[in-house]
Amino acid sequence: MGIFDGIKNFKKQLDKVETSIYSGKQSLLEVYELNLKLEAEIAKRTRELDTANKQMLTLQHIWDMMNSSKPLSSVLNAIVTSLQGELGYLHSCIAKKMTDGEGEYLQMMACSGSLFDGIFRSLFDCDPYEMRFNSPNIDEIYESIEEDKIYQSKDVLELIKKTIPDISEEVVIKGLGATGTKAYILIPLTYNHSHFGSLVVFSSREDAAENELKFLKLFSKQIELAITIAGLFQTVKEQAVTDSMTGLYNRRYFEEFLQKEVLRSKRQNTKFSIIGIDLDHLKKINDKFGHTYGDMAIKAISEILKSSCRTIDIAARMGGEEFNVILPGVDSQGAIIFAERIRKTIEAIPLEKIGHITASIGLGTFKEHSEDIYELEELVDHAMYESKRAGRNRVTVAKPASETSWQEIAINAFTDILTKHRIPIDKRTSNLLNKKLQEMNINNEMLYQVSDLLVSTYNPKHAVGITKKKVFLATLLAKRFELPKENVDKLKIAVLLYDIGNTMLPKDLLSKTEPLNEEEFASIKQHPLIAAREILKPISNIGDIIPIIEKHHENWNGTGYPEHLSGDNIPIESQIILIVDSYFALLEDRPYRTAMSKQDAIKTILVESGSKWSTALADEFASVINNEDFND
């Protein structure tokens, strides 16, 4: 091999080394460039994952709010706060479309961000919620709303100028510059298949990515669901405390508020008044024009109450044609003025076909007429019915409670019966009842419990709480016949005591499953006389109760006992006790039959109309039972 061949061979080897080194450089460069791309992709995916996590966190936050039964305002504020804090928008708001006599406008429902704080609070010295915003006269926005599409724009200045024409352009430009606002995105919201309002977010970014817009669309659906759920919760909440026909509060809410008002009155040493209102001649309106017009009259009074009451007053429909109003901080003189104004307003408004209606009104004041709220309610009730008895369409002020109430008379009667052992009950039961009587105050629930326990000694099927229902039902019927207060009080005492004669009868006779023979039935017929003459007659202060109890088994057609009286010869109080007692007996299991349903019991009562009781009483009874003011 020559020198030239050696040189040539060396060059070839050198070329191979150079080629190998160059290839290595190329591989390293490719690896480096690949790593750069991978790092960029990882950073991008990390940002996307971070955004997705924030979006999921926001959605979870909204979902938690929707499941918390919180008010709609709280849910919406949580939404805009989440958008600003978790998703990085500068400002966000939810505006609701409103319409009134002046036209269409926007009402702020929720907002968050310095743009709102800076402009509204510094320039207008008020919250955004207090302002009325113009609907922006921008065609593109209306098109997006109609087509339910997201709209985005960089012209934030135009949006604000259109929405708030009173604001100067200079102030807006300064505010946008200070906050770094460069664009906005508007997302239409629907509720019940109609445009509800819009979600608007303001961003420091001029353009939104496609994924961002997709998320905002998904987010808007969550908002719509939140609005729907919150609206449903609000509806259910309102239905729980309001009367469906009139929109006034119902009896339940009235009683709850009344207890709170009593505590407040005692704590602050202030007075409050109760107004009782009863629509006159509702039955005649229903009979002559139909129930639709009767409902119209009821709604007319409710609208008058809504427009006449202060925001702190509580107006409630107590059932049927009766309404009550609580006037916090108002004494009897102020209540008279209010009641007369209501009465005159009711009388002055003509209704279609019906013409003019009237109402009978009663009123009483806590700490003036009574310091016992239960007693005050009764006094107002009786004052209202005194207005009816005196000719209707008038206001009657309650009379202060008498020194001896019907509850005290009943307590004294029970105490006398137990302490003087006028009935054969075991010593343990007697001691228990005496203890309850000693512990109770006037109007205490234990008065009814004492009667319930006595009845259960001879009727094991008798449930606790039945006596109270009987007294309530009997009182409602007495009102239908416009009995004076003293007669209603006698009736209440008689309901507590009318069956006490059964304690003197053999227990096996009362629980017998076979039909009674003539002798046994004759014994049963004696229990009204036993109660009246052997147990109650020696007791003072109840002499005028005894005739009611003696005659509570007399039938309208004269087939009853013990004197075979008929028609109007039977005291109305005795007739009421008979029908009330019969109704609750039908609802109980008896040895000879099973308990009836409410509707079957009413049918049975109506079948015996004109024989066991008068048709008028049976009709009023059915009306009361079917009315929402009585729930058995």
**Which uninterrupted H or E stretch holds 98?**
strand 91-100
Amino acid 324: pLDDT:
96
Task: Output the six-digit token pair for 312.
Answer: 């702190």
Say if pTM beats, i.e. exceeds, 0.75. no
Q: How confident is the model at residue 61 (pLDDT cuts 50, 70, 90)?
A: low
- CATH no. of 72-240: 3.30.450.40
556 vs 370, residue with greater confidence: 556
What proportion of the chain, given as a percentage, has pLDDT over 70? 73
130 vs 331, residue with greater confidence: 331
Amino acid 404: pLDDT:
57
Q: How confident is the model at residue 117 (pLDDT cuts 50, 70, 90)?
A: low
Q: Is the pLDDT of residue 567 over 90?
A: yes
Q: How confident is the model at residue 431 (pLDDT cuts 50, 70, 90)?
A: confident
Whether the CB-CB separation of 175 and 159 falls below 8 Å is answered with: no
* Per-residue pLDDT tens over the stretch 376-421: 888 898 888 888 878 899 999 988 765 557 887 888 788 777 776 7
Overall average pLDDT of the 464-488 stretch: 88
516 vs 249, residue with greater confidence: 249
Least confident among 20-29, 271-280, 421-430, 520-529: 20-29
Q: What is the spatial distance between Cα 395 and Cα 404, in angstroms, rounded to a whole number?
A: 25
Amino acid 295: pLDDT:
94
Q: Is the pLDDT of residue 111 over 70?
A: yes
Task: Select the highest-mean-pLDDT range: 202-206, 368-372, 450-454, 606-610.
Answer: 606-610
Indicate the DSSP class of residue 595: P
Q: What fold does the segment set 418-626 form as a domain?
A: Hypothetical protein af1432 (1.10.3210)
Q: Calculate ∠ Cα 491-317-252, nearest 5°.
A: 80
Amino acid at 436: K
* Per-residue pLDDT tens over the stretch 237-285: 655 788 889 999 998 889 989 999 999 898 889 999 999 999 999 989 9
Q: Is the pLDDT of residue 342 over 80?
A: yes
What distances in angstroms separate CA 314 from CA 36, 230, 258, 324, one per listed residue?
72, 25, 9, 8
Q: Is the pLDDT of residue 48 over 90?
A: no
Overall average pLDDT of the 559-588 stretch: 92
Q: How confident is the model at residue 134 (pLDDT cuts 50, 70, 90)?
A: confident
* Per-residue pLDDT tens over the stretch 215-245: 788 777 777 777 776 665 565 565 578 888 9
Q: How confident is the model at residue 571 (pLDDT cuts 50, 70, 90)?
A: very high
Overall average pLDDT of the 96-104 stretch: 75
Neighbours of 90 (CB within 10 A): 22
Q: How confident is the model at residue 510 (pLDDT cuts 50, 70, 90)?
A: low
24 vs 569, residue with greater confidence: 569
Q: How confident is the model at residue 614 (pLDDT cuts 50, 70, 90)?
A: very high
Q: Which residues make beta-bridge pairs with 100?
A: 103
What proportion of the chain, given as a percentage, has pLDDT over 90? 27
Q: Is the pLDDT of residue 628 over 60?
A: no
Domain boundaries, given as residue ranges, for the chain: 72-240, 251-397, 418-626
Question: Is domain 251-397 classified as CATH 3.40.30.10?
Answer: no
Q: What is the spatial distance between Cα 349 and Cα 351, in angstroms, rounded to a whole number?
A: 7
Q: What is the spatial distance between Cα 115 and Cα 618, in angstroms, rounded to a whole number?
A: 70
Q: Which of 132, 130, 120 is nearest to 167 (CA)?
A: 120
Q: Which of 358, 354, 345 is nearest to 394 (CA)?
A: 358
Amino acid 127: pLDDT:
62
Q: Is the pLDDT of residue 465 over 90?
A: no
* Per-residue pLDDT tens over the stretch 155-213: 888 888 888 877 778 877 887 887 788 889 898 888 777 788 888 888 888 888 777 78
Q: How confident is the model at residue 423 (pLDDT cuts 50, 70, 90)?
A: confident
